[in-house]
Structure 1
Amino acid sequence: MEWFERAAEAEQREDWDTAITLVSSHAECYSVDHYAHNNHLWHMSLLARADRLEELAELALTDVHARRRLNRSLRDQGKEADLRTRAEDGDRDALYLLVRLLCETNRAEEAHQAILDLGPENQHAHQILADFRSSPNSVVAL
């Protein structure tokens, strides 16, 4: 059985240690070999699914894919304080996900304040909020 099949089976069993070990040894960020790059993305996904956020955070210092996957995991888990801290440290992706999280939980005013506090000149963050407020599904406080 090939490493790929063993890794996929381990992932299906949620045997994260085995899956991560197998995939990480065949992963390379921004490799010219698209298989190695895809394995890198798979590796980041496995770390997130295994809830290895500290490991992702360490990798996120130098790896954009780890940073994005970490931020997405924090959003999915509703960890707005962690996203805010990352945004305070200059992570724009964390700011965008924080704004989305606040909007999705009907806290548009908190999202607006977060933008003012963390990125008052950030047009993309303002646009996320504006798109939410103009959405027919949004609940906007008057």
Structure 2
Amino acid sequence: MEWFERARAAEQLRDWAAAIALVSAHAECYSTDYYMHDNHLWHMNLLARAGRFSELTELALTDVHARRRLNRSLREQGMEAALRGRAKDGDRDALYVLVRLLCETNQVQDAHRAVQDLGPEDQYAHQIVARFRSPSSGAQ
């Protein structure tokens, strides 16, 4: 059985350690080899699904894919405080994910305050809040 099939089988069995070990050996961020790059994204997804947030956090220091996957995972878990902390430390993606989370859970005022506190000059963060405040969205 080829490594790919073994990795898929391990993933299906939720044997995260085996799946992660197999995939990471064939993964490279921004590789010119499409398969290596795709495997890198798969690796980040496996880490998130395995709940290995400390590894994702460490990788997120230098890897944009790890950072985005970590932020998305924190959002899926409803971990507002963790996103807020990452945004406070300068992670703009975390700010955008936090603002969307707040807006989508009918906390538009809190989202506006988060933008004012964490990125008052960030026009994109303001645009996210404005979309939810528009009359067509029904948000107040």
Q: Same fold (TM over 0.5)?
A: yes
TM-score calculated relative to the size of structure 1: 0.96
Shift of 1:110: 0.3
Q: Which residue of 2 aligns with 1:109?
A: 109
Distance 2:86 2:46 in 1: 21
Provide closer, same or farther for how the CA distance between residues 2 and 128 of structure 1 changes in structure 2, counting only shifts above 3 A.
same
Q: Which residue of 1 aligns with 2:78?
A: 78
Structure 2 counterpart of 1:19, one-letter code: A
Deviations 1:47-100 (A, max 9, x none): 000010001000001111000000000011000100000000100000000000
Q: Is the 8 A contact 2:56 2:70 kept in 1?
A: yes
Q: Which residue of 2 aligns with 1:67?
A: 67
Q: Which residue of 1 aligns with 2:7?
A: 7
Q: Is the 8 A contact 1:106 1:138 kept in 2?
A: no
Distance 1:135 1:86 in 2: 31
Count of equivalent residues: 140
Structure 2 counterpart of 1:4, one-letter code: F
Q: Which residue of 2 aligns with 1:37?
A: 37
1:133 aligns with 2:133: yes
TM-score calculated relative to the size of structure 2: 0.97
Q: Which residue of 1 aligns with 2:27?
A: 27
Shift of 1:137: 4.6
1:87 aligns with 2:80: no
Shift of 1:135: 6.4
Moved over 4 A (4+): none
Q: Which residue of 1 aligns with 2:47?
A: 47
Q: For residue 31 of structure 2, give the secondary structure of its aligned residue in structure 1.
A: coil
List runs of 5+ in structure 1 lacking aligned partners: none
Shift of 1:133: 1.6
List runs of 5+ in structure 2 lacking aligned partners: none
